[in-house]
């Protein structure tokens, strides 16, 4: 098959890492891949092992000769909605989140509802729409014909060992942790990630509990102010780091605190390092991990999160079961096989 992937940019973020895995896996199986993108290349760009071409959203690009066009994100979906695809080419889209919830946190209830419907509308010309869970299939069946919907779990790889973590970062993290318990989260800092709840929970725990936040985003300043007010000196904002999962070996508990999630790559990466995990009790996570693998708390409940963090510390049995779950069900080969079947279906 000849497969064209359309993504917003080459920026190193979770959906693009999924596309990178797809390209590598499909090429290993003898398929030809080509990545198209819109935004200028930044210094932190993913290197794809195939042809890469920048295109314009408003100007049609000749996609004749491809068997599949696979879009990831609003603008790539919009590109197919505006220009369509040549006759005989199958259009596939992957939705990486629950967009109505995501837009509600970004724009508010009314605008979130409007933008959510606009997003779904951009999928009307796709032959197949892939979500990241069966729960998300049921969710989107309210707006998309069920026969066009399917799902495929994302994949995760063992943390890279060829590139060691930065020595200065490791020193800062160890000094911050001291003899205490280190809780961590790796994500883009926006409201839907619930990091404010995590900071409020930290303030309810003894002083030897410390927090490491890796990432950045729109909520960065507000979160730093909240941390300074509630628990000064106990939160280390490391900033955005490439291959951030390399630092998880220094962590005692990983806390996934989102109000909504499609897959949560960093949580799966934490499982691969045998780090105990605490997660908000949301459908996207419940489908993938059982209560014997992850310690759950009601989303947004800071006291319950604090109790869950206490409970999870040192729970090697749960951490081991979560590791086995990720290895057995979220491997790259499983994802490649599933998408290959979707492309051929």
For the segment 68-95, the average pLDDT, to the nearest whole number, is: 97
One domain, residues 324 and 247? yes
Q: What pTM does this model have?
A: 0.90
DSSP character at residue 45 = B
Distance between the two ends of the chain, CA-based, in angstroms?
13
Any bridge partners for residue 277, and if so which?
254
One domain, residues 127 and 211? no
**Does residue 70 have a pLDDT over 60?**
yes
Bridge pairing between strands 209-214 and 277-280:
unpaired
* Chain centre distance of CA 100: 16
The per-residue pLDDT for 224 is: 97
Q: What angle do CA 99, 55, 85 make, to 5 degrees?
A: 70
The per-residue pLDDT for 338 is: 97
One domain, residues 178 and 316? yes
One domain, residues 77 and 145? yes
One domain, residues 279 and 180? yes
Q: Is residue 196 part of a domain?
A: yes
One domain, residues 12 and 88? yes
Q: What is the CATH number of the domain that holds 43?
A: 3.40.50.2000
Residue 294: in which H helix or E strand, if any?
A: none
pLDDT band with cut points at 50, 70 and 90 for residue 157? confident
Identify the three-state secondary structure at position 165: coil
One domain, residues 296 and 215? yes
DSSP character at residue 245 = G
Query: What are 206-252's pLDDT values in tens digits?
Result: 999 999 999 999 999 999 999 999 999 999 999 999 889 999 999 99
Q: For the chain, what percent of residues have pLDDT higher than 70?
A: 99
Whose tokens are 């759950």? That residue is 296
Domain that holds residue 91: 2-155+331-344
Identify the three-state secondary structure at position 54: strand
**Does residue 40 have a pLDDT over 90?**
yes
One domain, residues 313 and 177? yes
3-class SS shares of the chain: helix, strand, coil, % to 5:
45, 20, 40
Q: Give the C-alpha distances (Å, rounded to integers) separating 180 from 21, 88, 192.
A: 37, 60, 28
Q: Is residue 8 part of a domain?
A: yes
How many Å apart are CA 121 and CA 137, to the nearest integer?
16
One domain, residues 59 and 146? yes
CB count in 10 Å sphere of residue 167: 8
Range name among 15-24, 35-44, 75-84, 207-216 with the lowest pLDDT average: 35-44
**Does residue 147 have a pLDDT over 70?**
yes
One domain, residues 75 and 33? yes
Nearest CA-CA partner of 132 in 83, 96, 103:
96
How many Å apart are CA 201 and CA 184, to the nearest integer?
13
Q: Is residue 137 part of a domain?
A: yes
Are the C-beta atoms of residues 70 and 5 closer than 8 Å to each other? yes
One domain, residues 208 and 317? yes
The per-residue pLDDT for 13 is: 86
Instruction: Locate 65 and state its tokens.
Output: 């000769």
**Does residue 163 have a pLDDT over 80?**
no
The per-residue pLDDT for 162 is: 59
Query: What are 291-313's pLDDT values in tens digits?
Result: 999 999 999 999 999 999 999 99
Q: Is residue 132 part of a domain?
A: yes
Q: Is residue 160 part of a domain?
A: no
Instruction: Locate 109 and state its tokens.
Output: 């209830």
How many Å apart are CA 278 and CA 292, to the nearest integer?
11
Q: Is residue 161 part of a domain?
A: no
The per-residue pLDDT for 311 is: 97
Q: Is residue 162 part of a domain?
A: no
The per-residue pLDDT for 230 is: 98
One domain, residues 245 and 311? yes
Burial class (CB in 10 A: 0-12, 13-18, 19+), 180: middle
Q: Is residue 126 part of a domain?
A: yes
Give me the count of residues in the chain: 345
Are the C-beta atoms of residues 160 and 230 closer than 8 Å to each other? no
Number of folded domains that form the chain = 2
The per-residue pLDDT for 193 is: 97
């Amino acid at each position: 098959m000849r497969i064209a992937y359309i993504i917003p940019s080459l920026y190193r973020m979770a959906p693009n890492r999924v596309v990178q895995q797809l390209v590598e896996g499909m090429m290993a199986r003898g398929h030809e891949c080509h990545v198209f993108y819109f935004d200028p290349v930044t210094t932190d760009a993913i290197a794809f092992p195939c042809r890469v071409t920048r295109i314009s959203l408003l100007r049609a690009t000749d996609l004749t000769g491809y068997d599949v066009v696979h879009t990831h994100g609003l603008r790539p979906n919009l590109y197919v909605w505006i220009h369509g695809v040549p006759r005989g080419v199958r259009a596939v889209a992957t939705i990486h989140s629950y967009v109505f919830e995501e837009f509600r946190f970004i724009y508010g209830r009314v605008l979130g509802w409007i933008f959510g419907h606009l997003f779904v509308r951009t999928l009307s010309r796709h032959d197949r729409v892939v979500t990241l869970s069966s729960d998300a299939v049921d969710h989107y069946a309210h707006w998309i014909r069920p026969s066009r919907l399917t799902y495929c779990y994302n994949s995760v790889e063992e943390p890279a060992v060829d590139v060691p973590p930065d020595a200065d970062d490791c020193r800062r993290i160890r000094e911050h942790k001291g003899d205490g318990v280190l809780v961590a989260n790796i994500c883009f800092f926006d409201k839907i990630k619930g990091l404010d709840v995590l900071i409020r929970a930290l303030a309810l725990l003894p002083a030897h509990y410390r927090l490491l936040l890796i990432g950045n985003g729109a909520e960065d300043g507000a979160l730093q102010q909240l941390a300074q007010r509630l628990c000064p000196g106990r939160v280390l904002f490391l900033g955005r780091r490439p291959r951030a999962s390399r630092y998880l070996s220094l962590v005692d508990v990983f806390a996934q605190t989102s109000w909504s999630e499609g897959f949560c790559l960093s949580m799966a990466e934490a499982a691969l390092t045998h780090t105990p995990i605490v997660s908000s009790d949301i459908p996207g996570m419940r489908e993938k991990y059982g209560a014997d693998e992850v310690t759950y708390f009601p989303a947004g409940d800071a006291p319950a999160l604090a109790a869950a963090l206490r409970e999870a510390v040192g729970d090697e049995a749960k951490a081991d079961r979560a590791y086995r779950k990720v290895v057995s069900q979220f491997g790259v080969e499983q994802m490649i096989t599933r998408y290959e079947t979707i492309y051929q279906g």
